[in-house]
């Protein structure tokens, strides 16, 4: 069925944009590949470089989105990500991999915030703002399906060659670029004179940060970004070490791919119940549950490297399914059109900066050898778990002040 309006077509195409964007075939093997080519410490450093690259582009990309348009920024995202994955597939050495990570980071930054603003403004153009939670949940389901498919197939590809996974990822990001070309720019209120410079954008951000609920959700989003990615970074060496205990370390790439696929499917299943849980228990309780699961997962991995602990990784993305669509939907109506993408980009900037800084500290503590020992993993995850518990307590103590829960009739 053909969409009735250009913005309705945007809404129909958007889940496919997210699907191709999340065909990240290297997600389950990138650490194993980098530590095979370089070392465990350099693998951590390369992920930190990815986050620094993303961080450096976060705020400029948000400004670019608010100033030049959502469509152009999403097109740039697909181009940068495709180039980065291709460079890893066909390049070699730390310098080439570092440049590729910067390109991948730029691709992520261009999409960060802009994609959510694009969807909300496309819905608003047709008077469908009340569908934001449902449409965000639907696009998250498409994202998870893409992640699940690519995780499993990427793990299989690695059995023949790690480069195949990155080459397939480059092709997927090129498809993402093609979908973005079919988008139309959604209408959004922008005063071209006032937004000619970053000063006005900074004022809009400062104004938004005077709203308690936006401050609280901003802080939660920053923390949840980092705690969601900790198992992503350390999960692969954890799996390798757990398999070493039973003599199956050589199967780590394929097992890691399978674990990631189950992880995404488990999270996709959680989306089927997320809306119901949100209505029954309320937004604040659901968000606290999601963050608590993240901290508990990290603490479990810090306590044991048993083969059975790998099953805990299945839950890694469930907190995102229980939080991300609802955080975005709660924020969107409170943000102005002229500064929406900038606010979301600054939020991502803060999350990536904090996490990248923690990774740089972790890389200094890790022994410089090909494989990352469980002793290093346990020490690092232990500190993350302690920090997570303290942050969880702080959020619980301020949830009433923030008035996170919307009007009762919305539940």
Q: What is the rounded CA–CA span in Å between residue 85 and residue 169?
A: 6
Mean pLDDT value of segment 334-354: 80
Q: What is the rounded CA–CA span in Å between residue 343 and residue 112?
A: 11
Q: Are 21 and 241 in contact (CB under 8 A)?
A: no
Please give the structure tokens belonging to residue 302.
């810090």
pLDDT digits (tens, 9 = 90+) for 267-300: 888 888 888 898 889 999 999 999 999 999 999 8
Most confident among 232-241, 324-333, 356-365 (mean pLDDT): 324-333
pLDDT of residue 385: 92
Mean pLDDT value of segment 141-158: 83
Cα dihedral 128, 132, 134, 139, rounded to 10, equals 110
pLDDT of residue 26: 83
Mean pLDDT value of segment 136-160: 83
281 part of a folded domain: yes
Show the domain range for 71: 6-182+194-410
Mean pLDDT value of segment 51-74: 79
Q: What is the rounded CA–CA span in Å between residue 169 and residue 160?
A: 16
| Count of alpha carbons within 13 angstroms of residue 385, beta-carbon side | 16
243 part of a folded domain: yes
Contacts of 364 (CB under 8 A, 6+ apart): none
188 part of a folded domain: no
Residue for token digits 């400062």? 206
Q: Are 377 and 238 in contact (CB under 8 A)?
A: yes
Buried b (16+ CB within 10 A) or exposed e, 287-313: bbebbbbbbbbbbbbbeebeeebbebb
DSSP secondary structure of 310-322: GGGGGGTTHHHHT
Percent of the chain with pLDDT over 90: 28
Looking up residue 288, the CATH number of its domain turns out to be 1.20.1250.20
164 part of a folded domain: yes
Cα dihedral 283, 342, 204, 189, rounded to 10, equals -90
Phi first, then psi: what are they for 151, rounded to 5°? Answer: -65, -50
Radius of gyration (Cα) for the chain, nearest Å? 20
Mean pLDDT value of segment 154-182: 87
Q: What is the rounded CA–CA span in Å between residue 354 and residue 212?
A: 21
For residue 409, name the pLDDT band (cuts at 50, 70, 90).
Answer: very low
189 part of a folded domain: no
Q: What is the rounded CA–CA span in Å between residue 340 and residue 218?
A: 13
Please give the structure tokens belonging to residue 184.
């139309």
Q: How many degrees, rounded to 5, is the angle at CA 400 between CA 394 and CA 403?
A: 120
Most confident among 83-87, 273-277, 338-342 (mean pLDDT): 83-87
Residue for token digits 């969601």? 228
pLDDT digits (tens, 9 = 90+) for 301-315: 888 777 677 778 888
Please give the structure tokens belonging to residue 207.
């104004």
For residue 13, name the pLDDT band (cuts at 50, 70, 90).
Answer: very high
State the chain's mean pLDDT as an integer.
82
pLDDT of residue 342: 76
1 part of a folded domain: no
For the chain, the distance separating the N- and C-terminal CA atoms, rounded to the nearest angstrom, is 32
**Between these two residues, 56 and 82, which has the higher pLDDT value?**
82
Q: Reduced to 3 DSSP states, what percent helix, strand and coil does the chain have, rounded to the nearest 5?
A: 85, 0, 15
pLDDT of residue 193: 42
What pTM was estimated for this model as a whole? 0.67
Asked if pLDDT for residue 219 goes beyond 90, the answer is: yes
Q: What is the rounded CA–CA span in Å between residue 15 and residue 21?
A: 10
Asked if pLDDT for residue 202 goes beyond 90, the answer is: no
Closest C-alpha among 76, 89, 83 to residue 102: 83
Q: How many degrees, rounded to 5, is the angle at CA 60 between CA 362 and CA 340?
A: 105
Q: How many domains is the chain partitioned into structurally? A: 1
**DSSP state, residue 369:** S
């Amino acid at each position: 069925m053909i969409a009735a309006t250009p913005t309705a077509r945007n809404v129909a195409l958007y889940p496919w944009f997210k699907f191709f964007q999340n065909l990240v075939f290297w997600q389950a093997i990138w650490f194993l590949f980098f530590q095979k080519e370089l070392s465990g410490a350099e693998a951590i450093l390369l992920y930190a470089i990815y986050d620094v690259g993303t961080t450096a582009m976060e705020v400029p990309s948000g400004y670019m989105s608010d100033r030049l348009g959502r469509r152009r920024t999403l097109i740039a995202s697909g181009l940068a990500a495709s180039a980065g994955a291709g460079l890893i597939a066909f390049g070699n050495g730390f310098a080439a991999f570092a440049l590729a990570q910067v390109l991948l980071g730029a691709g992520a930054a261009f999409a960060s915030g802009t994609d959510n603003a694009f969807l909300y403004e496309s819905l608003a153009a047709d008077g469908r703002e009340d569908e934001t939670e449902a449409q965000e949940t639907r696009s998250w389901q498409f994202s998870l399906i893409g992640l699940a498919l690519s995780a499993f197939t990427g793990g299989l590809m690695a059995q023949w060659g790690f480069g195949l996974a990155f080459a397939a990822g480059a092709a997927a990001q090129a498809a993402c670029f093609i979908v973005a070309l079919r988008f139309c720019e959604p209408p959004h209120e922008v005063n071209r004179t006032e937004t000619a410079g970053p000063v006005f954008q900074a004022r809009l951000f400062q104004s938004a940060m005077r709203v308690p609920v936006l401050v609280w959700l901003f802080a939660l989003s920053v923390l949840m970004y980092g705690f969601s990615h900790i198992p992503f970074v350390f999960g692969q060496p954890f799996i390798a070490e757990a398999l070493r205990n039973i003599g199956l370390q050589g199967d780590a790439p394929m097992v890691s791919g399978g674990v990631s696929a189950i992880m995404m499917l488990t999270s996709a299943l959680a989306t089927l119940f997320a809306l119901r849980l949100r209505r029954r228990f309320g937004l604040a309780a659901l968000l606290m549950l999601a963050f608590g699961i993240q901290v508990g997962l990290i603490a479990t991995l810090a306590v044991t490297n048993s083969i059975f602990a790998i099953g805990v990784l299945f839950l890694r993305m469930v907190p995102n399914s229980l939080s991300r669509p609802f955080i975005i939907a709660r924020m969107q109506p409170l943000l102005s059109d002229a500064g929406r993408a900038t606010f979301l980009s600054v939020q991502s900037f803060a999350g990536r900066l904090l996490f990248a800084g923690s990774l740089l500290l972790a890389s200094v503590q890790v022994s410089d050898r090909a494989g990352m020992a469980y002793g290093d993993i346990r020490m690092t995850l232990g500190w993350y778990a302690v920090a997570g518990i303290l942050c969880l307590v702080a959020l619980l103590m301020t949830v009433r002040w923030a008035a996170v829960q919307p009007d009762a009739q919305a539940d």
